[in-house]
Structure 1
């Protein structure tokens, strides 16, 4: 049997890196993409040292020409079975009245068009697998409900959610699953820090008093579980939050 191959975007840190480790441990050849080549090179070195098969490919998912070149590169592999659309991120927490449109455009480009570019480019290969392919979109609970100061990110993640929902309808009857994993509060090294442009105090305040936010490993375990269900089982939408978070705006914080 040929080795099953999983492509993970945004694999240089956080959920993407954790997913690469867990899918590799589950027996997949993992193709790691991100803009920061040094990060994914280091992760490939780590995984190969543990006996797993891993490949690094520098990629900006917002660049369609680069994405198409990546799809051509994947033709050298015997199969492409899983696509984990993980690349994304948030910028700013300003109200709609004063938000920077450039931030909204950046978030839309990576969270929505990035998912579109990679999914379109890889879908022909995902349709070819003997056991069927899997498109997985890492969205967010922000894609399901809004909150003050989150307009741009919420709009972008709604877009990612709608891509998954629509694609599932359009591929009905074909051997391709479309899975959406929507995490709530996840504490990673970079997400909040990037959102608040390196302001450590603002980034830390997001998690203040929250005993156990989700970790990147928690979400990666959820992704791996969903991907490794039998081919006829589709996890349409799975929302995963820490116990302390009842909604996007109701979080228990210990004093």
Structure 2
């Protein structure tokens, strides 16, 4: 019997790559995103490979999330895997120059949205039991702060701790919980963060050999298809080109 995966934020980046990778592996897919037309195109492309259901919704809309996941039909009502991928970063300015609206949107998406989807699907995952999984997309920003990261770093620290605490609560259910934390990754994510600044995007990735969405998709499939008695708690991935810098020292501050 085919397994079923729910992937949020499936219209670009990691989510889109994961949709293709899991379809190739024969998984049924429930794909969510805010861009209905793009979801329709993705479903048309993947349907010859597997069964696909799309849900056009914003994970920040609690009522819409709850209603959508309460109405899943066969074969999509039995969920084996939730990939909480929907998330974003906005702005690169220091905290004192940041827009409060950007902070709130990151909190609403990266924390509120992720927890809302998780809460809605926990009963289905627990019903599936042994071998089912939740994989939350975190970030190295949870553990390695940087200038301009402020609230984004905070939201990803939440994702990591929520993942670990959720695993404690799900002990004995057979449901696995993982936090996958990528480093420098090349995707539409950076264009969103910089307000569509293509030059900033090009400068960031030039010569960096950054992580690609397909790299993360392959890792997600590997985690999901591990034997049921194994759990990846947290997995941090960086490109070889990325490492740590010396601590900043502001003299005579």
1:1-255 superposed matches below 5 A:
2-49=1-48, 51-74=49-72, 76=74, 77-129=76-128, 131-188=130-187, 190-210=188-208, 212-247=209-244
Matched with 2:250 is: none
Are 2:129 and 2:175, in contact at CA under 8 Å, matched by a contact in 1? Answer: no
Change (3 A) 1:229 1:248: farther
C-alpha distance in 2 between matches for 1:215 and 1:225: 16
Are 1:85 and 1:138, in contact at CA under 8 Å, matched by a contact in 2? Answer: yes
Shift of residue 103, structure 1, vs aligned partner: 0.6
Does the residue aligned with 2:96 lie in a helix, a strand or coil? coil
Shift of residue 247, structure 1, vs aligned partner: 3.6
C-alpha distance in 1 between matches for 2:207 and 2:227: 39
Q: TM-score, normalised by structure 2?
A: 0.93
Does the residue aligned with 1:60 lie in a helix, a strand or coil? coil
Does the residue aligned with 1:135 lie in a helix, a strand or coil? strand
C-alpha distance in 2 between matches for 1:102 and 1:12: 24
Does the residue aligned with 1:128 lie in a helix, a strand or coil? helix
- 1:26-80 per-position Cα deviation (integer Å, ceiling 9, x unaligned): 221011100101111111111113x222111112101110010111122543511
C-alpha distance in 2 between matches for 1:66 and 1:183: 29
Are 1:126 and 1:132, in contact at CA under 8 Å, matched by a contact in 2? Answer: no
Does the residue aligned with 1:206 lie in a helix, a strand or coil? helix
Shift of residue 131, structure 1, vs aligned partner: 3.5
RMSD of aligned C-alpha atoms?
1.6
Query: Segments of 4+ in structure 1 off by > 6 A?
Result: none
C-alpha distance in 1 between matches for 2:223 and 2:143: 19
Does the residue aligned with 2:70 lie in a helix, a strand or coil? helix
Are 2:4 and 2:27, in contact at CA under 8 Å, matched by a contact in 1? Answer: yes
- 1:2-25 per-position Cα deviation (integer Å, ceiling 9, x unaligned): 321100000001100100111112
Structure 2 gap segments, 5+ residues each: 248-253
C-alpha distance in 2 between matches for 1:148 and 1:178: 30
Are 1:147 and 1:249, in contact at CA under 8 Å, matched by a contact in 2? Answer: no
Shift of residue 184, structure 1, vs aligned partner: 0.4
Shift of residue 114, structure 1, vs aligned partner: 0.9
Structure 1 gap segments, 5+ residues each: 251-255
Does the residue aligned with 1:242 lie in a helix, a strand or coil? coil
Shift of residue 209, structure 1, vs aligned partner: 3.0
C-alpha distance in 1 between matches for 2:73 and 2:234: 30
